[in-house]
Every structure is written in structure tokens, then in C-alpha cells.
Amino acid sequence: LLSDPPDPGSAAAHDAIAHLPRDAAPPGKRGLPAAEKAQVRAALHKQLRAMGLKPGSPIYVRLFKQSREFEVWVQKGKRFKLFHTFPICFFSGSLGPKLQRGDFQAPEGFYSVARRQLNPASSYHLSFNVGYPNSYDRAHKRTGSAIMVHGSCVSAGCFAMTDDGVERIYILAEDALAGGQKAFDVHIYPFRMTDDNMRRFTKPTQRAFWDELQPGYMAFEQNKVPPRVKVVNGRYLVEGRSHAVQ
């Protein structure tokens, strides 16, 4: 996993900087002052408690490209409860995985975020690195780096959120990691991977890859527990299932 965002002038910053649309607004405020952060955190904790959720509990994140939805789930007992669905302002490319640096694609797959991947002083307000490329991507020789979830509501080749949205997401992540969660899962899907949507959206070039993602989506839908996913022989394998998806 990548630990730090690249310097904006470096070659590694290509995917994070070079994909700004020509009419994009310049980056917004950098970081969140302590006093403002305390206010956001207090309001967030009040909302969590009103939903019967404990601040600092483990979180789980799902992104859906097609509907531009960013879900944050919070653990309650042995299962997870949906806290909020945030709108994704923009992401690069179309449905399908990222394959190489400069392909104007946002990734799809199973990622995780540890404390070292948080960036409180992002040029795009607040951000965290999703962890692309992971071991699956590297096994398939996929290239690129510095794929972020960030604010400012403009695309930089990543997943752009509103400043208000990224503040809440960032604080939820920060609190969960401070509360003992070593890393939280970020599962990025092209769409909600129901059987109907698999038939509706499937492209011949993506079908095999999407067939590997669907078991992870279905496992969470069934039990509301983030699935344990391994990479075995270059394939995603969801634990608890008897075989890798064919």
C-alpha cells in the first residue's frame, strides 16, 4: 500500500494531477483547522449516537461508480450498519478497472486504508490513498499510483467528494483508526453487482474481472460483515466460499 501522496511535481503524481478537466475549478482550502474539525467531529458524534452507533467504531466503505455513491458503514455489534451515502462528485474514466498509468481510469477492486495513508494537508482539502495498486493489481502488472479520495469536488484522476462530505468521511476514518481498527476496507465496484446488473452492464472485456468482484459484493449483502478477500494465483478469493469465481 502507498503511504504518502506524491509531490505534485513528481512523475508519480501523474494519475493524481494530470486528469483535471479543462474547466475544473482550482483546488479549495488545504486541510481543516483544528477548531472547525472539532465542530465537525462533535456534530458527527451526535449523529452517530442518534443512530445507535458508537464514535470510533470500525468502519467499512463501498464505492459504486455507476450511481456515484460512496457508502460508509459503521460496526454495531457483530454486523455493520449504513451510516450515510455520500455523492461522488467525479471520478475518472468509465466502468472498468484501472490498468496503467495515464489511462484516465479510476480503479475497481478490494483495497484497504491504514493510518499512514491519510493526508490531513491535501491540496484538495483532505484525502486518503485507497491503496492502488494492491497485490492483485501488481500480479496483473497494472501500473499507476496515488489514487485518492479527496475533497474540492473536482477530479484529479481520483474520487472527488464535496468538502463537507470528505470532512465527515475523513473524521470517521481517523476516529476508527484511532479507536483500534488497523485498517478499513474500501471496496470499489463498477455498479451494484446484482445478477440483473451483471447482465445489464457486463462488457465482454470486463466480465471475467467483474465475476471476481461479485462474490465480495454478495457476501456483504447477505450478512452485513465485510468479506475477507485474498489474492490467490492472481485471482480474488472471498473466504468462506469453496472456490475462486470462474
Which residues are tagged catalytic? Answer: 150, 158
Q: How far are the Cα atoms of 32, 186, 193, 233, 240 from residue 71, in angstroms, in the given order?
A: 22, 10, 15, 30, 24
Cα separation, 162 vs 40, whole angstroms? 14
Residue pair 228/193 in contact by the 8 Å Cβ criterion: no
| DSSP class per residue in 152-189 | TTS-SSSEE--HHHHHHHHHHHHHHHHTT-SEEEEEEE
Cα separation, 220 vs 170, whole angstroms? 23
Burial status of residue 200 (CB atoms within 10 A of its CB: 0-12, 13-18, 19 or more): exposed
